[in-house]
C-alpha cells in the first residue's frame, strides 16, 4: 500500500511531466467563461447551439479506460460530468490527462454540451489544462472523513466532501444576514465598537488579557459585543444601534459554550422590556422562516415551535416552587447549603449569586420553550433597570429554549448613581475572589451622568444557530480552535 509520502512523491513527479509537456501546474489565469451551475441551467441552449463552453473546477472522481475517460468536476456552484474521448481530441493531450491528472486536481476544460446515452448532462472535452495540481489525496467520497478531530482540524476537506456540512455553513451566513436585514429594515444603525478594551464590561465573564505594545498597557479582548460602547452611542443621540461581532470569554468549553464566538447586541432608545418581547419574538420567527422556511424544530430532545405562544415565566417563583427557598430574601449560607445538598455546587466558598444561579440552571434544563423568563434578582444583573413594582428584581427577559438560555434583554439601567452602586457591589465580589464579577467602569458611569434615554437592549449569540441545527456549537463554526498537532 502506498504511503502518503509515496503519493506525494508521485504527484510531484507528475508536475515535472506536465512541465516537460509544456503545461504549467499552477497557472495564474483561466479562460473559464461560465460556472458549472450556469452551464447546467443553460444546457439545452448550449447543446443546440453547438457553442463551446469553458468550465473549471476540482476533479472529484474519474473512471474509464482505453480511449474514453469520464470525470466529475466541481467548482463550488455545481458538479458536472466531463468526457474525454481520444478519437475526438488531440491524442497527446488525452494521454497527458490519463498520466498526470488525479482526483483532487483543479483543471480547466473546453468543450461542447452533450448528453450521454443515459441522458446525463456532460461536457465533451476538446482540450484541457491543469490549474492546480494537488499533492495530497482528498478522502474517498464513499467513506469521507470519520475521525472528529480530523474533521475539525481539516474542515476544508469536510466541507468539500460533505454536502450537508457545506449547506450548513451557507445557512450560517443566511442566519446572520437575516438578523441584519431585520434590524436594518427597522431603522437600526449597524456599528463597530472596540475589540480591545482597558476595562472589560457588559457581561459576567473571565476575559483574555494581552499587552498593547504601543501604549504599554495591558488590555482585554471584549466579553460582549460592545454593550457599554453602544449605550454610550445612545447618550450620543443615536436611537437604534446594533453590532454583530466576535466576543471572547476565557472560560470552559461544552456543547453550548466556546471561548470565541459571534454575538448580536442591539439597543433601542425609548423602548423597554415589555415592548422588547414583541421585538425578540418577531426577530426569532423571522430568522427561522428566512433560513429554514419553518417554525418548528427538534432540539436536544425538546420540541420547539417559534410560531407557538411564548409564555412568560418567573425566575423567583420557579425556584420557590422547586427548592422552597426565596432567592430575594434567603441568607447566603442557606441557599449555598441547598445548592450543595442538591449536588449543584461543588465550591466550598460559593456565594449567594452563584448558588441561586445553580438552582435556576437545574430547573432551566426541563423547559422546552420558547418562553420569556422574567423576575430575576437585581444582584444577578448589574446592568438592568430595577423593576418599579419590585425593586429587588430587574426588568430583564431571557429567551428559554430547549433547556437553555437563548438570548437576553433588559430595560437598560440609566440611573448613574444606581449603576455606580451596583458596579461597586460587583467590584467587591471580585475583590473576594470572583473573577467573573464585573469591574467598576468609571468611564461608562461618567458617560451615563450626561444622560442616557430609557432603552431596551438585547443580545443573542451563535448558540441559537447551533440549537436550530441541533448540533454541538463547535461543529457549527468553520474553524474552531484546537490544540496544535503534537
* Cα-Cα-Cα-Cα dihedral sign, residues 192, 198, 201, 206: positive
Kindly state the DSSP code that residue 378 receives in the 8-state scheme.
G
Residue 481 domain flag: no
40 in the same domain as 128: yes
So what's the pLDDT on residue 141?
Answer: 61
Task: Print the SS3 string covering 263-327.
Answer: EEEEEEECCCHHHHHHHHHHHHHHHHHHHHCCCEEEECCEEEECCCCCCEEEHHHHHHHHHCCCC
Q: Could you give the number of structural domains in the chain?
A: 2
Residue 337 domain flag: no
282 in the same domain as 380: yes
Residue 153 domain flag: no
Q: In which domain, by residue range, is 212 found?
A: 158-311+369-476
165 in the same domain as 133: no
Domain boundary among 104, 138, 172: 138
Distance CA 12, CA 278 (A): 61
202 in the same domain as 125: no
55 in the same domain as 162: no
300 in the same domain as 176: yes
129 in the same domain as 266: no
The region of weakest confidence among 25-34, 72-81, 269-278, 339-348 is 339-348
194 in the same domain as 61: no
Q: For 49-66, how does the pLDDT look when each residue is reduced to its tens digit (9 = 90+)?
A: 999 999 999 999 999 878
pTM of the model: 0.89
DSSP secondary structure of 65-105: -TTEEEEEEE-SS-EEEEEEEGGGS-HHHHHHHHHH--TT-
176 in the same domain as 114: no
Reading the block at residue 10, the C-alpha cell is 508521485
Q: What CATH number should be reported for the domain holding residue 130?
A: 2.40.50.140
pLDDT-derived band at 366, boundaries 50, 70, 90: very high
464 in the same domain as 418: yes
96 in the same domain as 58: yes
To the nearest whole number, what is the mean pLDDT of the chain?
A: 91
Residue 317 domain flag: no
Residue 305 domain flag: yes
Q: For 277-334, how does the pLDDT look when each residue is reduced to its tens digit (9 = 90+)?
A: 999 999 999 999 999 999 999 999 999 999 999 999 999 999 999 998 888 888 877 8
Domain boundary among 138, 168, 189: 138
19 in the same domain as 63: yes
Residue 341 domain flag: no
Amino acid at each position: 500500500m502506498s504511503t502518503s509520502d509515496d503519493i506525494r512523491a508521485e504527484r510531484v513527479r507528475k508536475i515535472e511531466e506536465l512541465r516537460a509537456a509544456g503545461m504549467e501546474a499552477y497557472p495564474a489565469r483561466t479562460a473559464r467563461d461560465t460556472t458549472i451551475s450556469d452551464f447546467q441551467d443553460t444546457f439545452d441552449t448550449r447543446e443546440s447551439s453547438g457553442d463551446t463552453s469553458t468550465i473549471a473546477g476540482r476533479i472529484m472522481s474519474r473512471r474509464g479506460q482505453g480511449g474514453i475517460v469520464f470525470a466529475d468536476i466541481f467548482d463550488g456552484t455545481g458538479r458536472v460530468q466531463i468526457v474525454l474521448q481520444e478519437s475526438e481530441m488531440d491524442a497527446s493531450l488525452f494521454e497527458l490527462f490519463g498520466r498526470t491528472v488525479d482526483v483532487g486536481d483543479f483543471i480547466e476544460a473546453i468543450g461542447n454540451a452533450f448528453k450521454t446515452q443515459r441522458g446525463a448532462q456532460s461536457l465533451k472535452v476538446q482540450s484541457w489544462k491543469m490549474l492546480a495540481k494537488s499533492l495530497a489525496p482528498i478522502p474517498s467520497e464513499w467513506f469521507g472523513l470519520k475521525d472528529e478531530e480530523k474533521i475539525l482540524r481539516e474542515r476544508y476537506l469536510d466541507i468539500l466532501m460533505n454536502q450537508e456540512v457545506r449547506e450548513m455553513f451557507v445557512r450560517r451566513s443566511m442566519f446572520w444576514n437575516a438578523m441584519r436585514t431585520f434590524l436594518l429594515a427597522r431603522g437600526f444603525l449597524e456599528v463597530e465598537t472596540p475589540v480591545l478594551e482597558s476595562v472589560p464590561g457588559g457581561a459576567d465573564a473571565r476575559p483574555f488579557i494581552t499587552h498593547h505594545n504601543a501604549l504599554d498597557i495591558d488590555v482585554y479582548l471584549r466579553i460582549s459585543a460592545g454593550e457599554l460602547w453602544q449605550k454610550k452611542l445612545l447618550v450620543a443621540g443615536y436611537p437604534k444601534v446594533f453590532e454583530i461581532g466576535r466576543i471572547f470569554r476565557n472560560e470552559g468549553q461544552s456543547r453550548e459554550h466556546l471561548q470565541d464566538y459571534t454575538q448580536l447586541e442591539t439597543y433601542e432608545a425609548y423602548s423597554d422590556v415589555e415592548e422588547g418581547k414583541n421585538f425578540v419574538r418577531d426577530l426569532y420567527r423571522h430568522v427561522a422562516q428566512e433560513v429554514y422556511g419553518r417554525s418548528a424544530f427538534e432540539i436536544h430532545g425538546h420540541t420547539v415551535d417559534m410560531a407557538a405562544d411564548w409564555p412568560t415565566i418567573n425566575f423567583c417563583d420557579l425556584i420557590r416552587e422547586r427548592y422552597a427557598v426565596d432567592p430575594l430574601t434567603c441568607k447566603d449560607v442557606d441557599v449555598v447549603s441547598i445548592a450543595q445538598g442538591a449536588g449543584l455546587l461543588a465550591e466550598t466558598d460559593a456565594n449567594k449569586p452563584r448558588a441561586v444561579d445553580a438552582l435556576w440552571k437545574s430547573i432551566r434544563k426541563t423547559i422546552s420553550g420558547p418562553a420569556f423568563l422574567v423576575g430575576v434578582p437585581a444582584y444577578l444583573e448589574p446592568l438592568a433597570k430595577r423593576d418599579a413594582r419590585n425593586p429587588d428584581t430587574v426588568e430583564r427577559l431571557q429567551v428559554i429554549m430547549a433547556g437553555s438560555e437563548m438570548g437576553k434583554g433588559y430595560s437598560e439601567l440609566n440611573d448613574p448613581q444606581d449603576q455606580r452602586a451596583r458596579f461597586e457591589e460587583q467590584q467587591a465580589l471580585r475583590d473576594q475572589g470572583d473573577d467573573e464579577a464585573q469591574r467598576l467602569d468609571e468611564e461608562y458611569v461618567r458617560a451615563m451622568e450626561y444622560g442616557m434615554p430609557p432603552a431596551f437592549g438585547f443580545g443573542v449569540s451563535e448558540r441559537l444557530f447551533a440549537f436550530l441545527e441541533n448540533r454541538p456549537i463547535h461543529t457549527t463554526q468553520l474553524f474552531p480552535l484546537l490544540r496544535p498537532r503534537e
